[in-house]
Amino acid sequence: MSSSEQTNTPNDDFEPLIQAGHRICSSDRIQDQEEGFRFMVRTSEIASMVGSIDHRVDETLPAFVIRFDGQAHAYLNRCAHVAMELDWQPGQFFTNDKTAIICASHDAQYLPDTGECISGPCPHGSRLIKLKIEEKSGEIFLCQAN
Ligand code: FES
């Protein structure tokens, strides 16, 4: 089994470092409103997309991809309230009714398709930092920064 196949195994704790332009996971790894896929990104690779994050220092940060209404969406795994990871179990990002992303720390909720904060202690108008991805030929790729 190749290393790329190993990263697609459900419940696999390994979080690969994904470079821009490279494959994150296979499309069937993320099912609609189910477990997400966790991975790592370097801020230097996504510099134009990291908003308020100070990327003078090149950091490796956690990220994830989920599927909602058939579309894949990827974000930094970083709450807009406090810079903590969101999932309540590794890869579990959705509320019980599967309509929102919820932060395990203080219950901030975000729209799954835009990352916009909709309730909880995240600042008004804040949102998760969305990563540009592309899904093609049964694979999901992290796009190059513009
Ligand atoms: S850290 Fe996410 S709601 Fe507080």
pLDDT values of the chain reduced to their tens digit, one per residue, 146 residues: 344 444 444 445 679 999 999 999 999 999 999 999 999 999 877 765 555 555 566 789 999 999 999 999 999 999 999 999 999 999 999 999 999 999 999 999 999 999 999 999 999 899 999 999 999 999 999 997 65
CA distance 92 to 49: 24
Q: Residue 51's pLDDT is what?
A: 55
The response to whether residue 8 sits with its C-beta less than 6 Å from ligand 1 reads: no
Q: Is the Cβ–Cβ distance between 107 and 81 less than 8 Å?
A: no
According to CATH, the topology of domain 23-142 is Rieske Iron-sulfur Protein (2.102.10)
**Boundaries of every domain in the chain:** 23-142
The response to whether residue 105 sits with its C-beta less than 6 Å from ligand 1 reads: yes
Report the atom number in ligand 1 closest to the C-alpha of 121: 3
The response to whether residue 88 sits with its C-beta less than 6 Å from ligand 1 reads: no
The response to whether residue 62 sits with its C-beta less than 6 Å from ligand 1 reads: no
Cα maximum dimension of the chain? 46
Q: Residue 146's pLDDT is what?
A: 58
> Pocket of ligand 1, candidates 82, 85, 109, 126: which has the most ligand atoms within 8 Å of its Cβ, to mutate?
82
DSSP state of 66: E
CA distance 146 to 138: 24
CA distance 119 to 100: 10
Span from the CA of 99 to the centroid of ligand 1 (angstroms): 18
Q: Residue 145's pLDDT is what?
A: 67
Residue nearest to atom 4 of ligand 1 (CA): 106
The response to whether residue 121 sits with its C-beta less than 6 Å from ligand 1 reads: yes
Can you spell out the DSSP letters for 110-132? E-TTT-BEEESSSPTT-B--EEP
